[in-house]
Amino acid sequence: MPLVSMRQLLDEAAKGGYGVGAFNVNDMEQIQAIMGAAKETNSPVIIQASRGARAFAQDKYLFHLILAAAELNPEIPIAMHQDHGNSFETCKSAIELGYTSVMMDGSLKEDGKTPASFEENVAVTKRVVEFAHERGVTVEGEIGVLGGVEDGHGAGGTGLEHVTDPDQAVEFAELTGVDALAIAIGTSHGAYKFTKKPDGSVLKMDVLIAIHKRLPNTHLVMHGSSSVPKDLQDVINKYGGKLKETWGVPVEEIQLGIRNGVRKINVDTDNRLAMTGAIRKVLWEQPEKFDPRDYMKPAREAMQKVVAQRMTQFGQAGHAGDYKAVSIVEIAKGYKDGSLKTKPLVAAK
């Protein structure tokens, strides 16, 4: 299957009442791990690359690795997404390269650190929406500001400093015409999200539910959604790592989100933890090893296991064959004639 529009993938998820994991990649093994899991569970999937990933791997390498994934797995719908674009130019370059979806994170200024005003956010996001929709490409926006820092991008802090205001979310969605909306509900990027199992005082699922009630047809996105499982932390620490005690977003809270309009769930840290633990284990137990394949293979397997588990938990498992790709050209026509602005490609459940 050719790369599909993320809008189609999320509309189908809304119809089926499930969520889709968006997994970050930087290299070949991570892409292979995701595709292995997608094949194993028969799942549609979103593969996403941050600006840092694009710089690390070099655009062409990363893009062609993902094209290889599509070519080798014609039965799996894959959306290729720019994670946290910091400017119009970043999103434009991803679209010109062939990404089928971009995030314009206008919640921060172009430096990727300083919170932007509502007006600045609306202006840059709207500009990206116009450019992207003309080409059939999906746009995710962000209102409110997430905590933490990922690949140098982020305002830092706990995630509670700029929780999304539901009234602003409605205004933002209407003014910009985004296809998907990332909201801030107390989560943050990275391993250190919460100091204990989160409750409603730090993880604002009530805000998410309030936003969904006001915007029932907008696909909501949960960032910073790694669960940071204790068993993955333990493997790292057992083999010489030094992670401090920490908690992520419990899977049952994500599932509550999915029942309330969340269609895209961003996961990066859990995969990083799984790979690092597997590599540490090999090098700790067999210090004589020096062939990268001796530790990259177990690392890839460990990531595949986590991704397959999330695909099952988010409900996307089993849905790869539900639909055929609608071409980006057709999607662009839908944006142009207004039909995709006012209604999804398929009706939600």
Nearer to ligand 13P, 24 or 43 (CB): 24
Query: 88: part of which helix (H) or strand (E)?
Result: helix 88-97
Nearer to ligand 13P, 143 or 340 (CB): 143
Q: Which stretch binds ligand 13P (CB under 6 A): 35-43, 88-96, 203-211, 266-274?
A: 266-274
Where in 143-182 is the site for ligand 13P (CB under 6 A)?
A: 150
User: Which one among 141, 190, 257, 334 touches ligand 13P, defined by CB under 6 A?
Assistant: 190
- Sign, CA dihedral 114-223-178-335, equals positive
CB of 228 to ligand 13P, least distance (A): 7
Check binding of 226 to ligand 13P (CB under 6 A). Answer: yes
User: Which one among 7, 126, 219, 223 touches ligand 13P, defined by CB under 6 A?
Assistant: 223
Query: What is the per-residue burial (b if ≥16 Cβ within 10 Å, else e) of 46-58?
Result: bbbbbbbbbeebe
CA 255 to chain centre: 15
Nearer to ligand 13P, 229 or 344 (CB): 229
Site track 267-296 with ligand 13P (rule: CB under 6 A), x = hit: xxx---------------------------
DSSP assignment of 269-309, as one string? HHHHHHHHHHHHHHHHH-TT---HHHHHHHHHHHHHHHHHH
Nearer to ligand 13P, 37 or 331 (CB): 37
Instruction: Determine the Cα–Cα distance for residues 95 and 238; give it in Å rounded to an integer.
Output: 43
End-to-end distance of the chain based on CA atoms, in angstroms?
Answer: 25
Check binding of 189 to ligand 13P (CB under 6 A). Answer: yes
Tokens read off for 243:
């992670």
Check binding of 83 to ligand 13P (CB under 6 A). Answer: yes
3-state secondary structure of 326: coil
CA 47 to chain centre: 8
CB of 59 to ligand 13P, least distance (A): 18
218 DSSP assignment = S
Catalytic amino acids?
Answer: 83
Q: Which stretch binds ligand 13P (CB under 6 A): 113-121, 162-170, 217-225, 309-317?
A: 217-225
Q: Which residues bind ligand 13P (CB under 6 A)?
A: 24, 83-84, 150, 189-190, 223-226, 266-269
